[in-house]
Chains A and B, each alone.
Chain A
Amino acid sequence: MSLADASGLPDAEAALAALADRMRGAVLHGAAFVGIYSGGAWLAERLAALVPGDHAVGFIDVSYYRDDYSKTGLKGGAKRTELPFDVAGASIVLVDDVLYTGRSVRAAINELFDFGRPERIELAVLVDRGGRELPIEADYVGARVAVARDLSVVLSKDPGGTLSLTVESAAGC
């Protein structure tokens, strides 16, 4: 089965199904799914329904933990981090849409530890585009893609809830 369309990007819904397949039976029954805003938050909710088990769903906004604040400042739109379970001792699967440099994941791990000491943290991503700048790898990957450095991969959700992936010029990001 080929997941790729003409642009070289996989279909987001097919990649999500593939990701859920890889997590099924592999993640702990009681693992909490924590999505990184905004794409990861949509995915965490979908995965909690697709992957068998009893999965609390939380959302994390890493704006305050990013390492580029001194360069770019605080851009508006930070959301409230919501973790409706006790982080201390929890098994957590961090969920993000695109794994690239690894810096958002680093920020998210740091933020989780400010809520308590988790038992373990795993990482699930819809697409892995390579290009890591930190020693971070995902435990579960929906699809792997190759995209030019000056492009961003963006996950969007239509009003009906269907997910799709597009590439955009990174200049505006």
Chain B
Amino acid sequence: MRNPQLNANGELTHLLTLEGLPPDVIRNILDTAEPFASIAEREVKKVPLLRGKAVFNLFFENSTRTRTTFEIAAKRLSADVINLNIGVSSTSKGETLLDTVDNLVAMNADMFVVRHAQSGAPHLIASHLNAHRRTHVHVVNAGDGRHAHPTQGLLDLYTIRHFKRDFTGLTVAIVGDVLHSRVARSLIHGLTTLGTPEVRVIGPRTLLPTRVEAMGVHVHTDMRTGLAGCDVVVMLRLQNERMKGALLPSAGEYFKHYGLTQEKLAVAKPDVIVMHPGPMNRGVEIDSAVADGAQSVILPQVTFGIAVRMAVMSIIAGN
């Protein structure tokens, strides 16, 4: 079966996951994002690429940053953006996901940006559209369950390339709740596809997926060994709800062992960059001195995220 993200010519028509995408497709997205980054400096912060197209933000799960940056990206491409407040809409009246989609297609939607708590929901929508020959309608996964968050992975890759130029000599550590993190999965697939020689995950065993080594990463449960010699450290948000289960003793205990402090970071390379997908829990996974420090590139990540999402939308809408 063909990769449902690609059309018959091997061009990207939906973005569902970075897993299995050819390296050239990923590089093309990063290259395309680069000139988009400068559009914010213009008097008119828009280009007319998606003029007349309707982009529907379908967020079945809460998000402020991701939804806002998708909305800004679509608007900078001159698209019309419709935000659906799913919580109070038809879904709560019992309408199925695909019926919702069909109704929006009947309103001449050109693109869906989908976030859903269920892994695979964006894939289901894309397959449905493909099966019904609605190939002019495109789907972007804005995060599904524990599965994937490909635009976050791409903006992380863009940020790393911006500051480190090349992936082929890098040691990258991803720290924290890898088990529940779609951000970590997307980034790991992206990093390995682009030839990063050393990708590490660091965290307590209870927050690391079993057989995570099969993804091509090295596992560390100790910050000292895990951070040694790193070029890039990616901190993951510790979701508070995890504390309620038996996975962790307490936030204070977690910070003591896995919270990123200047002291722990000292074993990484002197020019290490520190990333975080947000929203941050200061004093839980990251110390304020690091979050606001010279090595932090957390705010540039947000800015780059807009350019990367513009690149994704303009590539898939044209294919």
Q: Which residues of A contact B (CB under 8 A)?
A: 61, 64-65, 69-70, 72-74, 76-81, 87-88, 110-111, 113-116
Contact = CB atoms under 8 A, between A and B. Distances in A.
A80 B48 CA distance: 16
B134 to A, nearest CB: 16
Contacts of A81: 35, 38
Contacts, number: 47
A78 B32 CA distance: 7
Nearest to B52: A70
A73 B319 contact: yes
Tell me what chain B mostly uses at the interface: helix, strand, loop, or mixed. loop
Interface residues of B, number: 19
Contacts of A114: 42-44, 46-47
A74 B43 contact: no
Interface in B14-55: 28, 31-32, 34-35, 38, 42-44, 46-49
23 contacts: A64-B314, A65-B47, A69-B49, A69-B318, A73-B317, A73-B319, A74-B32, A74-B315, A76-B28, A76-B32, A77-B31, A80-B34, A80-B35, A80-B38, A81-B38, A87-B43, A114-B42, A114-B43, A114-B44, A114-B46, A115-B43, A115-B44, A116-B43
A68 to B, nearest CB: 10
A72 B35 contact: no
Contacts of B38: 80-81
A13 to B, nearest CB: 30
A65 B35 contact: no
B166 interface: no
Interface string B299-319: 000000000000000110111
B261 to A, nearest CB: 38
Contacts of A73: 11, 315, 317-319
Nearest to B53: A70
A70 to B, nearest CB: 7
Contacts of B315: 73-74
Nearest to B77: A64
Contacts of A110: 48
B6 to A, nearest CB: 13
A64 B50 CA distance: 9
For the complex of A and B, list the 7 residue pairs with the smallest distance between their C-beta atoms, beginning with the closest: A73-B318, A64-B47, A114-B44, A80-B35, A74-B318, A76-B28, A74-B314
A61 B49 CA distance: 13
